[in-house]
């Protein structure tokens, strides 16, 4: 752990497992609630001096961290693949994406502008300033173990906030590597703190109930997010949540089915389906269903599963046995109710894959709304294809979920694209685009998919309070 500028050792540790091989690749300190309290104390003590630094000073540190992360690009990518399992090419992409947040918020730190507001009184002037919220408690997920850290820490530091981080128990080594970069970049003692723990509950309790924490930011499941928000509510903490998704992928009749199927394959099997923006419900107009299924099946059949460190791997392991069991259960339920498996549909155990948590990339068609996969987030490599024939109904079908994170539209009709974009109840929508994300763009969901936004100008404002001065002259 890293508390008040010191690396903390302990005899109480837990192992970190490579999900591709089942081997232990490291051990980290198993922290507890008192460790979280100590880290919060350190952040609270450092808050005043850090907030007093100039925007240019904070910017310079974030810029240095960006340089260091890019210099360590390959080592970080290899660590991520060993710890999280994604193919090395995907890990390299994520490190670049993570570094982008450091660079973006290094620039935005210098653009926290105030404003003046005209008054109806001649002897009065209004001035608005934006100031740091204070101590931030951050909880990050395992599926993107570096970029989800910088997407929170970057704007927090830019705004003048101090941070206590609790990373996912599956991927603490990536978090340690990021904190070392920030330390080397010159972040002062106490400004960023790291608490690792096998059991996240006591840490979450401290984050929610400690009055020194003024903001909680969380990325993870909707169930856990609701619990944290509930626990933080009596203290009126600022809360931002990036939660689960159940993304629709709509392919209209006028779309090129081959082009749409290529896009669906790329985003559905991104990170082995373990992405909150991964499409769960692929709605395809019945008149182009044939070429769409043919294309996606052919492309999925070419995907090789295995250890992400090996060349040519497109599908890595799932996070654990429970994730494999969930995918298997959804597929079996769908098949029992009439769905057709075009490829995949089973756990992979040959060629040494039985040592890890592998599930075959799978394509299902004939999916209906009485199947589990239609309403449950899969978080695995299963593409569920649903036919439709009425453009007037498809928006309502897509919106028929309590989630509202990401959605995708394929059409060559501008009017249809705009109508669907405006009608969908989702925070991020790709129109003929499977990657509608960037450090410069706001990321977040509606309904049960979250509160607030990350990235962009909106992501910085999540860490700022608005202060009004009324001057009588």
Count of CA atoms in the C-beta half-sphere (13 A) of 89: 9
Sign of the torsion angle spanned by Cα atoms 196, 197, 200, 203: negative
Structure tokens at 126: 């209004």
Cα dist from 433 to 204, 275, 437, whole Å: 36, 16, 10
- 225 vs 235: CA distance, rounded Å: 16
Q: How many helices (H) and strands (E) does the chain have?
A: 15, 20
The CA distance from 350 to 303, in Å, is 15
Q: Do β-strands 13-17 and 6-7 pair in parallel, antiparallel, or remain unpaired?
A: unpaired
Strands (DSSP E) found in 356-442: 362-365, 382-388, 406-410, 428-431
**Helix intervals (H) in 210-277:** 222-232, 257-268
Q: Which residues contact 473 (CB under 8 A, 6 or more apart)?
A: 123, 124, 125
* CB of 152 closer than 8 Å to CB of 454: yes
φ/ψ of residue 394, rounded to 5: -65, -35
d(CA 382, CA 399): 21
The catalytic site residues sit at: 242, 276
Residue 223 in contact with residue 67, Cβ under 8 Å?
A: no
Burial of 115 (0-12, 13-18, 19+ CB in 10 A): exposed
Q: Are strands 406-410 and 247-251 parallel, antiparallel or unpaired?
A: parallel
Q: What angle do CA 183, 185, 190 make, to 5 degrees?
A: 40
Helix extents (H) in 109-234:
147-159, 172-185, 200-209, 222-232
Alpha-carbon distance of 235 to 229, in angstroms, equals: 10
**What is the rounded radius of gyration, in angstroms, for the C-alpha atoms of the chain?**
23
Run of H or E residues at 124 = strand 124-132
Contacting residues for 467 by C-beta, under 8 A, at least 6 apart: 128, 129, 130, 131
User: Contact 428/245 with Cβ under 8 angstroms?
Assistant: no
């Amino acid at each position: 752990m890293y508390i008040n500028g010191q690396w903390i050792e302990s005899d109480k540790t837990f192992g970190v497992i490579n999900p591709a091989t089942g081997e232990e690749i490291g051990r980290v300190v198993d922290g507890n609630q008192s460790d979280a309290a100590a880290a919060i104390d350190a952040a609270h003590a450092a808050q005043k001096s850090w907030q007093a630094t100039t925007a240019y000073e904070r910017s310079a540190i974030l810029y240095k961290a960006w340089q260091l992360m890019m210099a360590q690009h390959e080592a970080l990518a290899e660590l991520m693949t060993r710890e999280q399992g994604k193919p090395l090419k995907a890990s390299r992409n994520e490190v670049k994406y993570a570094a982008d947040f450091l660079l973006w918020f290094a620039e935005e730190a210098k653009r926290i502008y105030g404003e003046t507001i005209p008054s109806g009184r001649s002897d009065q002037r209004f001035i608005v300033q934006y100031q740091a919220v204070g101590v931030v408690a951050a909880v990050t997920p395992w599926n993107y173990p570096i970029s989800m850290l910088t997407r929170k820490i970057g704007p927090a530091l830019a705004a003048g906030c101090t941070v206590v981080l609790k990373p996912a128990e599956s991927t603490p080594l990536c978090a340690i590597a990021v904190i070392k970069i920030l330390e080397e970049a010159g972040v002062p003692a106490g400004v960023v703190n790291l608490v690792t723990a096998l059991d996240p509950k006591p840490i979450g309790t401290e984050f929610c109930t400690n009055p020194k924490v003024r903001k909680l930011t969380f990325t993870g499941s909707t169930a856990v997010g609701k619990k944290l928000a509930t626990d933080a509510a009596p203290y009126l903490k600022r809360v931002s949540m990036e939660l689960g998704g159940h993304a629709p992928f709509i392919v209209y009749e006028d779309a090129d089915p081959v082009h749409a199927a290529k896009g669906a394959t790329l985003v559905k099997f991104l990170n082995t389906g373990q992405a909150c923006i991964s499409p769960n419900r692929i709605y395809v107009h019945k008149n182009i269903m044939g070429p769409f299924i043919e294309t996606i099946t052919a492309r999925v059949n070419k995907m090789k599963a295995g250890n992400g460190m090996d060349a040519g791997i497109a599908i890595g392991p799932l996070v654990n046995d429970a994730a494999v069991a969930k995918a298997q259960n959804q597929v079996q339920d769908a098949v029992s109710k009439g769905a057709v498996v075009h490829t995949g549909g089973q756990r992979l155990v040959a060629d040494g894959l039985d040592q890890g948590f592998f599930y075959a990339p799978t394509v299902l068609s004939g999916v209906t709304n009485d199947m589990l996969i239609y309403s449950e987030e899969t978080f695995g490599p299963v593409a569920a294809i649903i036919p439709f024939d009425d453009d007037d109904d498809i928006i309502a079908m897509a919106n028929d979920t309590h989630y509202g994170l990401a959605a995708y539209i394929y059409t060559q009709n501008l009017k249809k694209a705009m109508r669907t974009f405006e009608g969908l109840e989702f925070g991020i929508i790709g129109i003929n685009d499977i990657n509608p994300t960037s450090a410069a763009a706001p990321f977040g969901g509606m309904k049960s998919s979250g509160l607030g936004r990350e990235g962009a100008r909106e992501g910085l404002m999540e860490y700022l309070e608005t202060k009004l001065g009324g001057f009588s002259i």
